[in-house]
Structure 1
């Protein structure tokens, strides 16, 4: 009986339909495909993670490089700005030194011209000393009163002295403005003495027109001597100032001529 059951099972097995076999094969293929897809998915995820890590590392490296470049560019820019600042400062200093040099040159030329003009103006005024001495010579009152020609000459000389004095006094004021203090003080003292000289000369002319003895003869003589002394003092002081600020070897201020003081004792 056992044998009969065995034969029946074998017969039954031999009678399995074809689609059953195909279905089993299909199921096996599907299972194999699912396994393959799973493995591929796992591999893709691993690859993406690796790529993400690589990308993150590249981005970090790029950021480091960019930061380093920014630092380098910032340092270069800072160095360029410093150099530009130094150049600007150097240019500013050079321009300022040039302006100061031009200003000093202008001041020197202005002072030198004003000194020369003042000396020349005082020299012209001093030229009237000898002429006044000749006209006012002698012991007053004179035996004969001055003639019309003498009076005319006295008037002309007095007018000339006043005119020359005004010019010289104006030059003195310019010198006082241009300075410096030492030269300005000399110019002031000389200007005051010139004023005394003109005042005493006018008084002597009035006395001579009246054929009278002048009461200011001594003062007039002292003013003349003071003009000579102060003019020489001014020239020395002015020459020292100009020499200190100029490289010119020659004296920019002409020395005063020796005044004819023969009439001082008149």
Structure 2
């Protein structure tokens, strides 16, 4: 009888240890899955944001500055196509950055928000520069083209550093 009690107690200890080990493994698996999810959302954000940034060169070629004359109809059509592409890429980057904002943590969410603001500033500068070029007018103030393009680059580098730090800790 005493042997039976020892066997039952031993069996119970083995079961508790197995449950504890399974719970610990499930926690590690969940952490790994969450890290991979974050990493993928960060990568998606970076890749789509770089597509927005890739529009700087073609747009700068299509929108001469300083303005010396109004754009021809063909030049205006090409510019419209580039601006439409910029809009599509901005919308996609906006969506991917919003996913990062949801995934967090706070430092990465804030950096993703700054990415969105920087891209919106560039988009606005491109629209202003395009309007001036279409009309052959040089505005009193030059558009914030250069500063917004630089800000996009700076914000992307900052985002990458913050995201890298978060992933290495997870």
Fold similarity call, TM over 0.5: yes
Higher relative contact order (CA 8 A, sep 6+): 2
Change (3 A) 1:222 1:138: closer
Superposed displacement of residue 214, structure 1:
4.1
Runs of 4+ in 1 over 6 A off after TM superposition: none
Paired residue total:
170
Q: Distance in 2 between matches of 1:83 and 1:226?
A: 65
TM-score, length-normalised on structure 2?
A: 0.89
Unaligned segments of structure 2, at least 5 residues = none
User: What is residue 139 of structure 1 aligned with on the other side?
Assistant: 66
User: What is residue 100 of structure 2 aligned with on the other side?
Assistant: 175
Asked if the contact 2:111–2:158 (Cα under 8 Å) also holds between the matched residues in 1, the reply is yes
Asked if the contact 2:42–2:100 (Cα under 8 Å) also holds between the matched residues in 1, the reply is yes
User: What is residue 200 of structure 1 aligned with on the other side?
Assistant: 125
Unaligned segments of structure 1, at least 5 residues = 1-72, 246-266
Give SS of 1:82's match: helix
Task: Choose which of 17, 20, 34 in structure 2 pairs with 1:107.
Answer: 34
**1:207-246 residue pairs with structure 2 within 5 A?**
207-214=132-139, 217-245=142-170
Task: Choose which of 88, 91, 94 in structure 2 pairs with 1:166.
Answer: 91
Asked if 1:148 is matched to 2:78, the reply is no
**1:1-266 residue pairs with structure 2 within 5 A?**
73=1, 75-76=2-3, 78-140=5-67, 142=68, 144-214=69-139, 217-245=142-170
Moved more, 234-243 or 119-128: 234-243
Asked if the contact 1:118–1:172 (Cα under 8 Å) also holds between the matched residues in 2, the reply is yes
